[in-house]
Amino acid sequence: MKLHKESKGTITVATILFIIISVLAIYFLKMWSLLIIMPLLVVYSLVFWFFRVPERDILEHRENVIAPVDGKVVMIKEVEETEFMKGKAIQVSIFMSPLNVHICRYPVSGKVIYKKYHPGKYLVAWHEKSSTENERTTVAVETATNHQVVFRQIAGYVARRIVFYCNEGDQAKAGHEFGFIKFGSRMDVFLPLDTEIICKIGDITKGGVDVIAKMKD
């Protein structure tokens, strides 16, 4: 199983703790140590599972808006996007549980024209105010169809580290990685009002593969 590059520090710490706790359990509890080691082994395995990098067949897209993450669609509504678009947009929000793949991908192809990191709170990721109050990043892309699309990584109650690798001027390719969020979070995508929304609330998305909307060319 291929692991994400962001896993290195977390797995190192998890391995050290696993070894220390296991050795102490064996020394003090003898045969009863399995009561500690077995549950600990499950948690240790889940850390590796969280950082997995699945193989995905990424296609070329022009009008299609691709699911930026694995997760569940929890919101589709018209909102006021005040940071960059400065107007009304359709917001599609996808919630990621700790068991989902947490690679963040470009939802559209085009050119990165804006990026900004915002420190903030750690409300639960499905809370509506988390989009404006939690730790987050905002990225905007000028698409191949001459639209502006904004997407936002949002830290959740458990997630405490957001990473994004893109810079202004970079070429964005729909479905390709631009960042990572650790341990439970949300992605918001803000689309023009005339965008055809294909997904619906409750849909389970596969990042980089599933089409969630289609923009007019």
- The secondary structure of 26-44 as a DSSP string is HHHHGGGGHHHHHHHHHHH
Amino acid at 188: D
What whole-number distance in Å separates Cα of residue 95 and Cα of residue 171? Answer: 26
**So what's the pLDDT on residue 120?**
78
pLDDT over 90 percentage in the chain: 80
For residue 127, being part of any structural domain is answered with yes
Do 9 and 107 belong to one domain?
no
Helix (H, G, I), strand (E, B) or coil at 132: helix
Mean pLDDT of 114-138: 77
What whole-number distance in Å separates Cα of residue 184 and Cα of residue 164? Answer: 16
Of the residues 34, 53, 72, the one at which a domain ends: 53
CA angle 138, 9, 186 (to 5 degrees): 30
Of the residues 28, 53, 78, the one at which a domain ends: 53
Known catalytic membership, residue 185: yes
**What are the two backbone dihedrals, phi and then psi, of residue 94, each rounded to the nearest 5 degrees?**
-120, 125
For 28, the domain range is 2-53
Do 80 and 162 belong to one domain?
yes
For residue 58, being part of any structural domain is answered with no
Banded pLDDT at 4 (limits 50, 70, 90)? very high
Do 83 and 189 belong to one domain?
yes
DSSP 121: B
**So what's the pLDDT on residue 81?**
96
Do 14 and 110 belong to one domain?
no
Q: Which residues contact 198 (CB under 8 A, 6 or more apart)?
A: 211, 212, 213, 214
Do 186 and 135 belong to one domain?
yes
Average pLDDT of the chain to the nearest whole number: 92
Do 160 and 182 belong to one domain?
yes
Q: Which residues contact 108 (CB under 8 A, 6 or more apart)?
A: 61, 65, 66, 141, 143, 144, 147, 149, 172, 174, 215
pLDDT per position as a tens digit, 80-95: 999 999 999 999 999 9
pLDDT per position as a tens digit, 139-170: 999 999 999 999 999 987 655 578 899 999 99
Do 147 and 90 belong to one domain?
yes
Count how many domains the chain has. Answer: 2
pLDDT per position as a tens digit, 181-192: 887 688 999 999
Residue 122 predicted with pLDDT over 90 = no
CA angle 176, 178, 182 (to 5 degrees): 115
Quote the pTM value.
0.89
CATH classification of the domain holding 118: 2.70.70.10
Catalytic one of 7, 93, 131, 185: 185
